[in-house]
Amino acid sequence: MRLTQREIDVLTAILQAQPVGLTQLEEQLGLTANQLHYTFTKINVWLSDNDLSWLGTDKDLITVAEPLLVQRALTNFVAHTTPERFRYTSDQMQRFMFLTLLLSERPIAINRFVDTLYTSRTTVVNLLDGLQHQCARFRLTLKHLNRRGYLIEHDGFKKLTVFVQVLIDTISIRELLGFYYRDNIYSKMGELLLFNLFDLDTLFTVIKETLAYTDSLTSIDDVDFLLLIMLNYQYRQAVQQDGATTLNVEALAELAGEILHNDRRSLDPGQRRLIIHINVAMQRAFSLDFQFDEDFIRILSRHVQRFLFRQANQIQMNDIDVAQFMPEYGEIFNVVKAAIADYPELATGEITPSEIMLIAIYYASAFEQHAQRADVEPYLLVVCAEGVAVSTIVKNKLARLVSADHIDTSSVFDATEAKLTRYDLIISTVPLPGIDAARVLTIDHAFAPDLLQQVRQRLSLTTIAPPGNDINKFAAIMDAINSTSIGATELAQLEMQILQILSAPAIARTALATPLVINPALVARVEVGMTWQQAIMEAASGLLAQHLIEAHYVQTIINNTVRFGAYMMVTPGVILAHAGAEDGVNANAIAVTSFDQPIHFPGENTPLVHVIITIALKDDDPHLLMQKLMDWLLMPPTLELLRHFEQKATVVAKLRELFGEGAPAHLKE
pLDDT above 80 (res 425) = yes
Q: Which of 442, 390, 371, 418 is nearest to 626 (CA)?
A: 390
In this structure, are residues 594 and 645 in contact, taking their beta carbons and an 8 Å threshold?
yes
498 contacts: CB under 8 Å, gap ≥ 6: 477, 480
| Mean pLDDT rounded to a whole number for the chain | 75
Helix (H) or strand (E) holding 267: none
Taking only the tens place, the pLDDT of each residue in 14-42 is 998 888 888 888 888 888 877 788 788 88
Q: Do 540 and 422 share a structural domain?
A: no
Structural domain includes residue 181: yes
pLDDT above 90 (res 168) = no
- 540: amino acid identity, one letter: A
Q: Do 111 and 58 share a structural domain?
A: no
Helix (H) or strand (E) holding 585: none
- In angstroms, the CA 404 to CA 396 distance is 8
- In angstroms, the CA 418 to CA 177 distance is 17
19-33, 214-228, 237-251, 333-347: least confidently modelled range: 237-251
* Res 509: pLDDT: 38
- In angstroms, the CA 85 to CA 88 distance is 9
* Res 619: pLDDT: 63
Q: Do 495 and 420 share a structural domain?
A: no
Helix (H) or strand (E) holding 444: none
Structural domain includes residue 188: yes
Which one is predicted more confidently, 286 or 348? 286
Q: Do 242 and 99 share a structural domain?
A: yes
- pLDDT level of residue 621 (50, 70, 90 thresholds): low
87 alpha carbon, distance to own chain's centre: 28
- In angstroms, the CA 124 to CA 149 distance is 12
Q: Do 339 and 215 share a structural domain?
A: no
Q: Do 109 and 56 share a structural domain?
A: no
- In angstroms, the CA 471 to CA 460 distance is 28
- Residue 596 sits at φ, ψ, to 5 deg, of -65, -35
Q: What is the mean pLDDT of residues 448-465?
A: 65
Dmax of the chain from CA atoms? Answer: 91
Q: Do 437 and 298 share a structural domain?
A: no
Strand 61-64 relative to strand 20-21: parallel, antiparallel, unpaired?
antiparallel
* Res 656: pLDDT: 82
In this structure, are residues 32 and 111 in contact, taking their beta carbons and an 8 Å threshold?
no
Q: Which of 310, 202, 216 is nearest to 260 (CA)?
A: 216
- In angstroms, the CA 540 to CA 643 distance is 17
- pLDDT level of residue 667 (50, 70, 90 thresholds): very low
What letter does residue 345 receive in the DSSP assignment?
T
- 281: amino acid identity, one letter: A
Strand 574-577 relative to strand 569-571: parallel, antiparallel, unpaired?
antiparallel
What letter does residue 549 receive in the DSSP assignment?
B
User: pLDDT > 90: what percent of the chain?
Assistant: 7
pLDDT above 60 (res 427) = yes
3-state SS of 404-416 is: HHHEEEEECCCCC
Structural domains in the chain (count): 6
Taking only the tens place, the pLDDT of each residue in 466-519 is 333 343 343 444 445 444 444 433 434 444 444 444 444 433 334 445 578 888
253 contacts: CB under 8 Å, gap ≥ 6: 235
Structural domain of 649: 520-667
∠ at Cα 171 (410, 322), nearest 5°?
70
Structural domain includes residue 300: yes
Q: Do 198 and 237 share a structural domain?
A: yes
457-461, 462-466, 475-479, 604-608: least confidently modelled range: 462-466
Q: What is the mean pLDDT of residues 312-338?
A: 76
* Res 471: pLDDT: 33
Taking only the tens place, the pLDDT of each residue in 131-153 is 988 888 777 889 988 888 999 88
In this structure, are residues 267 and 337 in contact, taking their beta carbons and an 8 Å threshold?
no
In this structure, are residues 602 and 661 in contact, taking their beta carbons and an 8 Å threshold?
no
* Res 403: pLDDT: 79
Structural domain includes residue 55: yes
In this structure, are residues 546 and 517 in contact, taking their beta carbons and an 8 Å threshold?
yes
Q: What is the mean pLDDT of residues 520-527?
A: 89
39 alpha carbon, distance to own chain's centre: 21
∠ at Cα 283 (280, 287), nearest 5°?
155
Structural domain includes residue 510: no
pLDDT above 80 (res 69) = yes
pLDDT above 90 (res 536) = yes
> Of 20, 48, 80, which closes a domain?
80
Q: Do 148 and 66 share a structural domain?
A: no
Highest mean pLDDT among 34-48, 119-133, 198-212, 235-249: 119-133
356 SS3 class: helix
Structural domain includes residue 515: no
Residue spans of beta strands (DSSP E) within 373-454: 380-384, 407-411, 425-428, 440-442
Taking only the tens place, the pLDDT of each residue in 253-265 is 555 555 555 544 4
Q: Do 196 and 135 share a structural domain?
A: yes
- In angstroms, the CA 236 to CA 193 distance is 19
Taking only the tens place, the pLDDT of each residue in 349-408 is 678 888 888 788 778 777 766 654 444 578 899 888 766 667 777 887 787 778 777 888
- In angstroms, the CA 145 to CA 153 distance is 11
CA distances 367 to 133, 219, 286, 293, 636, Å, are 44, 22, 10, 12, 47
What letter does residue 490 receive in the DSSP assignment?
G
Q: Which of 618, 612, 477, 474 is nearest to 549 (CA)?
A: 618
- 568: amino acid identity, one letter: M
* Res 185: pLDDT: 61
Structural domain includes residue 661: yes
> Of 80, 107, 142, which closes a domain?
80
Structural domain includes residue 464: no
Q: Do 243 and 158 share a structural domain?
A: yes
**Where does residue 138 fall: left (phi above 0), alpha (psi -120 to 50 degrees), or beta otherwise?**
alpha
In this structure, are residues 540 and 614 in contact, taking their beta carbons and an 8 Å threshold?
yes
Q: Do 197 and 223 share a structural domain?
A: yes
Q: Which of 83, 41, 193, 55 is nearest to 583 (CA)?
A: 41
- 581: amino acid identity, one letter: A
Q: Which of 350, 35, 319 is nearest to 170 (CA)?
A: 319
CATH number reported for the structural domain that contains residue 23 in this entry:
1.10.10.10
- 17: amino acid identity, one letter: A
